[in-house]
Amino acid sequence: MKKVFKIIGITLLVIIVLLIAAPFLFSSQIENFVKKTINNNVNAKVEFADIDLSLFRSFPQATVVLSDVSVINNAPFEGDTLADVKEVTLQMSIKELFKGSEEPKRIDQFKVNDAYINILVDSLGRANYDIAKIDTTATTTGTPADTTGGFSLDLQHYEINNSRLHYKDVGAKMALKLEELNHQGTGDFSLDQTELDTDTEAIVSFEFDSINYLNKNKVDLDAVIQMDLENMKYTFLENEAHINQLPLTFNGFVQVDGDDTNIDLTFKTPSSDFKNFLAVIPEVYAKNIENVETKGDFVVDGMIKGTANDKYIPKLDIKVTSNNASFKYPDLPKSVQDINLDLRVLNETGIVEDTYLTFKNVKFRIDQDRFAANGSVKNLMGNMLVALNLDGTLNLANLDKAYPLDMDLDLNGILTVDASTSFDMNSIEKEQYQNVKSSGTAGIKNFSYKSPEIPNEIKVSSAKVNLSQGNVTVPELDLTTGQTDLQATGTIQNLMGFLFTDQELKGIFNVKSNTFAVNDFMVAQTEEKPVTTSEENTSETSKTEKVATGEEAIKIPSFLDVVLTFNANKVLYDNLKLTNAKGKLIIRDETATLENITTDIFNGNIALNGHVSTKTATPTFDMSLDLNAISIAESFNGLELMQGLAPIANALQGKIQTNLNLKGNLNNDLTPILTSLAGDALAQILTADVNPEKMPLLAKLDSQLNFIDLDKVDLNNLKTKLSFKDGAVNIQPFDFKIKDVLVQVSGSHGFDMNMNYKLNLDVPAKYLGNQIGNTLSQLSGSSLQNTKVEIPVGLSGTFQSPQINLNMQQAISSLTQKIVEEQKNNLKEKGTNALNDLINKQLGKNNQNQQSTDSTATKTPQTKTDSTKTTQEKKIEDAAKSILGGLLNKNKKKKDTAQ
């Protein structure tokens, strides 16, 4: 007995050792086998981070796990991701590990976890999943490569967990998305005929020809399918599906026969309770329907039968009906009564263009308000033909009192409509509105609309729309929001194109307003931020929500293409008040073009032409402005632009007119970013008085230059040209007078208020005091009235903290040169003696020897030497220094009575 236990123990030990050692013995073999299989069969770049072999995970089966598997396409979809899988698990018999490398290995089970499958069919019909290699040595074209040595399926069970599948067919204009996909099946694929028990659930979105038929609808299917693998026929035996919460049962089969797929299916709701209708609506909107009180029936009954291939689709007959139904949510005060539905989707030929939809006797009632619709949509898969009739009255305030709308909106108002229309989509897309046949009216009264995204409630006291053929006229629109009131009439050129396609809304309107406040239309800025959840795999289930940034912006709507001729008595923009505003505004492509806009402001008026665009992240503008006879003080206080272009205007009282051409970037509130401006201006001061106390620069000039009086400055009719770029304003030279003092100005400043200016003052001698003035007139040989002194002044620093630089050397040189030139023409003996006396007196040097030498030289001018000339000019220069030094160092005189 001991020997038996010993044998058993040794055997178990050997088995355990083998189980532990097997992954090390076979892992490299399996990895090489997998890579060889892929390379022999797939025309794509397939990679995986790791491969693991375990004999314990599903003993007595062997388990192979591939981690982080990716399949990247080669041409013609080079670089595209076909598949990205976190984990692929294969289970097979342990004996499969001992097969030779050329023998196929049979797989019993496989699992795919956290997969992303991206299937794409381009406009040429090429599919990115067509990656199987073609055996070029085969006699039959298109025969797949030999799979000897690869894997073969002998499945008993398979699973796809927490995965996503995106399918897009560009040519067919079709897109399918499956998210949160979980699917599993159990059956014996080794048999020719078997039963497959499946369980599937997913979030489904389906779009065809730009129409959303399913949008994140929850779908699940429990089905037992009889599989005839030899004939590729799959028959539904026991099944029940749910679209959201709507139950459906299926019967019939699907059979693949070469390029044809034969379908014979019928489906219906297992019960006729009207609660089935609410179940069709996505759960996020329908909320909890278990406690909803319902009456009446709701039946879905459909048939899909025929062949699907490149030429035909199966015949369709799907009916949705309901009669005299009603529902009421327990937490809401009102119910929806007298509901009737009769919808039908039909195709009797199998030709895709012959598919059409009809809806008859669609009605409902809330309180006393009744609404009805009838119509059809034919040629669903081609040039759709739409016919629609609407008739009824609806109190919008009752909508969320009868149905749990999940919207941050507050709607009120009475909507009435009695209209019919018919058109084909090609005409709408080509804007051939003469092919649209419409008639009737629609209107709304006492409409109000609230939303967190708009600053004020929008109220429409009345609005009317008339339909006639392809024309839509708006004879009446009376709207208020915040401080703003609007009255408008006009036409809408493409209402159907706007409602049924992605066209912009086009129209022409005449708008009147007593008060129009721009801030009433500023939209709160939002940004997308992730919402944290407690779910696992947040990369797959992460969501975002819009969060207010605290900023507001004026955005030009992208869906508008309208021309507005407007007249507003008062326009409020920030702290500005404009009156009698009129002109034309064209809104197109997120750009507002202003044509011949005029308005009264700052006790004058402004004319504008140009455009403003909010199409880019930073708004831009290009504008021409004519400012006529506006108040300098008011415009300086109201316009940041004026403060940047002409800071000195702060000290002026009067009128100005200017022509401005400028462009640049805008802030979110559409005020200019000064440092981005480029352009030019021609400005003329019509009348102006100066108050030096309001501008430190002028006050400092007034105190430092004792020979000028800014109270006597004359700026009337002064003209100058400005140009600005890169944050700098350049002034073309101009001049003005301070009484008889001529001032020439040139230079530039920045919008940061740093400046670099030059002033050239031409000062008459009479303003320098009697003693200095008479001395200068005698030195120059001119009368006191005609003698002038040129004084250059440099201005730097800022307008609030200026630096004033008197260029003494240039002033002395200029004065000396003037005296010398005038003396050359007036050099006489008597005059020369007098000149020397005046110079010496001015300098305080009455040197008799020097005077004698100069006198002798004067008596014999023919023999005068260059040295004598130099001495003479040096004396004049010294005299000029003395004069100017005394002039500029004197205290400011309030008034010179001698003048």
| DSSP code string of 620-689 | EEEEEEEEEEEEHHHHHHH-HHHHHH-GGGGGEEEEEEEEEEEEEEB-TTS-B-GGG-EEEEEEEEEEEE
Structure confidence by residue, pLDDT tens digits, 402-440: 888 766 667 788 999 999 988 888 887 887 877 888 899
User: How does strand 458-468 pair with strand 505-517?
Assistant: unpaired
538 pLDDT band (50/70/90 cuts)? very low
* pLDDT for the residue 187: 84
* pLDDT for the residue 824: 61
Structure confidence by residue, pLDDT tens digits, 686-742: 777 787 777 787 777 777 777 677 777 778 888 888 888 888 889 889 888 888 788
27 pLDDT band (50/70/90 cuts)? low
Residue 343 has pLDDT above 50, yes or no: yes
284 pLDDT band (50/70/90 cuts)? low
Distances (CA, A) of 841 to 595, 713, 820, 876, 886: 72, 35, 18, 12, 14
Question: Which of 83-92, 99-108, 700-709, 825-834 is predicted with the least confidence, judged by mean pLDDT?
Answer: 825-834
Average pLDDT of span 512-518: 88
CA atoms of 323 and 340, how far apart (whole Å): 5
535 pLDDT band (50/70/90 cuts)? very low
Comparing 208 with 478, which gets the higher pLDDT? 478
b/e code 328-341 from CB counts within 10 Å (16+ = b): bbeeeebbbbebbb
What are the backbone dihedrals phi and psi of residue 535, each rounded to the nearest 5 degrees, phi first? -75, 155
Percent of the chain with pLDDT over 90: 14
User: How does strand 505-517 pair with strand 560-573?
Assistant: parallel
Residue 393 has pLDDT above 90, yes or no: yes
769 pLDDT band (50/70/90 cuts)? low
101 pLDDT band (50/70/90 cuts)? low
Question: Which of 62-66, 496-500, 573-577 is predicted with the least confidence, judged by mean pLDDT?
Answer: 496-500
Place of tokens 């073009």: 593
Stated as kind and residue range, the H or E segment containing 855 is: helix 848-859
400 pLDDT band (50/70/90 cuts)? confident
Average pLDDT of span 518-529: 63
Distances (CA, A) of 237 to 189, 223, 623: 18, 7, 73
* pLDDT for the residue 192: 80
CA atoms of 304 and 297, how far apart (whole Å): 23
Write a three-state SS string for 337-394. Answer: EEEEEEEEEEECCCCHHHCEEEEEEEEEEECCEEEEEEEEEECCCCCCEEEEEEEEEE
Q: In this structure, is the dihedral angle defined by the CA atoms of residues 47, 52, 53 and 56, taken in order, positive or negative?
A: negative
Stated as kind and residue range, the H or E segment containing 696 is: helix 696-704
User: How does strand 151-169 pair with strand 105-121?
Assistant: parallel
Structure confidence by residue, pLDDT tens digits, 288-311: 677 888 898 888 899 999 998 878
Average pLDDT of span 597-624: 89
Question: Which of 17-26, 215-224, 813-822 is predicted with the least confidence, judged by mean pLDDT?
Answer: 17-26
Structure confidence by residue, pLDDT tens digits, 198-233: 899 999 888 876 667 777 888 898 989 898 888 888
* pLDDT for the residue 24: 42
Q: Which residues are CB-neighbours of 662 under 8 A, at least 6 positions away?
A: 622, 623, 625, 672, 677, 678, 679, 680, 681, 724
* pLDDT for the residue 15: 42
* pLDDT for the residue 387: 92
Residue 374 has pLDDT above 90, yes or no: yes
Residue 363 has pLDDT above 90, yes or no: yes
Stated as kind and residue range, the H or E segment containing 822 is: helix 808-824
Residue 655 has pLDDT above 60, yes or no: yes
Structure confidence by residue, pLDDT tens digits, 117-137: 998 988 888 888 888 776 555
Average pLDDT of span 339-344: 92
Residue 7 has pLDDT above 70, yes or no: no
Computed over every residue of the chain, the mean pLDDT equals 77
Residue 568 has pLDDT above 70, yes or no: yes
* pLDDT for the residue 352: 82
Comparing 46 with 529, which gets the higher pLDDT? 46
* pLDDT for the residue 179: 92
What DSSP string runs through 543-574? Answer: EEEEEEEEEEE----TTEEEEEEEEEEEEEET
Q: Which residues are CB-neighbours of 590 under 8 A, at least 6 positions away?
A: 555, 556, 557, 558, 613, 614, 615
89 pLDDT band (50/70/90 cuts)? confident
Residue 770 has pLDDT above 70, yes or no: no
What are the backbone dihedrals phi and psi of residue 346, each rounded to the nearest 5 degrees, phi first? -135, 140
Q: In this structure, is the dihedral angle defined by the CA atoms of residues 20, 24, 29 and 33, taken in order, positive or negative?
A: positive
Comparing 22 with 483, which gets the higher pLDDT? 483
Average pLDDT of span 533-555: 49
**Contact indicator for 147, 104 with CB cutoff of 8 Å:** yes
Residue 887 has pLDDT above 60, yes or no: no
3-class DSSP state of 468: strand
Average pLDDT of span 853-861: 39
b/e code 614-629 from CB counts within 10 Å (16+ = b): beeeebbbbbebebbe
Comparing 212 with 747, which gets the higher pLDDT? 747
Percent of the chain with pLDDT over 70: 72
536 pLDDT band (50/70/90 cuts)? very low
